[in-house]
Amino acid sequence: MGARKEVLEVVSGWQAVELVLKCLLLGAWQLVQMAVKRLWKGQRRKALKNSHVEVTVDSSIGRHCYIKIMGVKYHYIETGPQSGHKVLVLPDAPETADLWSPGWCAAVQQLADTGHHVVTLELRGTGASEGGGRAALAPPRAVDELAALLSALGVSPHNPATVIGFGIGGMLTWYLAHCHGALVRRLAVLGAPHPSLYWQYPPAPFCDGLQHFIQWPVLPERWLAEAGGPACSRARDWAGALHYVRGAAWWRVRAGALVRAPALLVAGEGGAPELVCSAQHCAAPTLRLLSGPGRRVRPDDPQLPRVLADFLRPVESCPEKEPARAGLVGRMLSRGRELTARLALPAHAQA
């Protein structure tokens, strides 16, 4: 709790007043733009009578478990030996179907086969996990619940876990690593800029151009439900994702705070600027750009298993120490090789 208070700071004072005004005025303007666009395209409200589809998960990928943390019921799927090194997967929201795709299931199975205990958590408001209001899903409460979940799974400062986050789950991974860094051995953030870049780079695809409107109550859920697929055709399907995003707009990471654990930051080809900016908040970042259009990273991307395997591979031998008599030029060259190794570009970019 103390670490959380030292790292997170709420937007207050004149900044809060300015943010409220922007959300009211710019949100209204965004609403007008969306309405005009809808009328121009001739879109009409969907008939939702027969479009409610309940998503089920194949039990062959792992064991379904329920746990109550701080009075909140969570659903998760665990794969691999319980005695293995803990890997917590935080998915995107609201749509999580990609996590059950053959590609990502193969990546999870690969981790399980190498002795990892993989826990894929369904975030609040998604799947079978309990929902919550805006305050309950704000960063302070969210990271405390995640930390309590890790502790219940046997994670401690002496036995930290690896955390992998996609999208909104990646945003929560950032907050968790900042506030409870002792519980995180290393982290992989996939398609999620650092929370300090919230207004510069939207934290989720549905935020593009709608960040101020999303702060409004009720209307965004209904609007997105009309535009969502069969699995997200109801306003309540969007409530959890929107509350996470709404809370992130009001809680900032203190300037100068660094994530100490080794961090893998992954984005699509268009996400190079956000990777570079996010890396400034890490003490030991490794950057990867995946080939393909856009900034977002999907769990079913065929490049992900190899990228994660390279990052999670245990170091079998200690790196050679730099000779004590190395001169200034030698130390500069050594440092340059180290930094170059941290930034891995796609193969076509290296040609």
What domains, with CATH codes, occur in the chain? Answer: 2-8+64-202+255-313 (3.40.50.1820)
What confidence score (pLDDT) does residue 291 get? 85
Band (pLDDT 50/70/90 cuts) for residue 347 is very low
Kind of pairing between the strands at 116-121 and 161-166 = unpaired
pLDDT in tens, 109-119: 999 999 999 99
Q: In the chain, how long is the greatest CA-to-CA distance?
A: 76
On whether the CB atoms of residues 252 and 195 are closer than 8 A, the answer is yes
1 pLDDT band, cuts 50/70/90, is low
Element (H, E) at 116: strand 116-121
How many whole angstroms separate alpha carbon 56 and alpha carbon 335? 50
338 CB burial (10 A radius; 0-12, 13-18, 19+): exposed
| Residue appearing with tokens 């002795």 | 115
Count of other CB atoms within 10 angstroms of residue 142: 24
SS (HEC) of 222-282: HHHHHHCCHHHCCHHHHHHHHHHHHHHCCEEECCCCCECCCEEEEEEHHHHHHHHHHHCCE
**How many other CB atoms are there within 10 angstroms of residue 213's CB atom?**
20
Span 56-92, pLDDT tens digits: 556 677 899 999 999 999 999 999 999 999 999 999 9
Average pLDDT over residues 316-338: 43
pLDDT band, very low/low/confident/very high, at 40 (cuts 50, 70, 90): confident
DSSP-assigned letter for residue 171: H
What value does the CA radius of gyration of the chain take, rounded to a whole number of Å? 21
Using one digit for the tens of pLDDT, what is the confidence trace for 145-158? 999 999 999 999 99
Report pLDDT digits (tens) over 226-284. Answer: 876 666 878 888 999 999 999 999 999 999 999 999 999 999 888 899 999 999 999 99
Share the mean pLDDT of the chain. Answer: 84
pTM equals 0.85
pLDDT value of position 315: 44
SS3 153: coil
Q: Which amino acid is at 251?
A: W
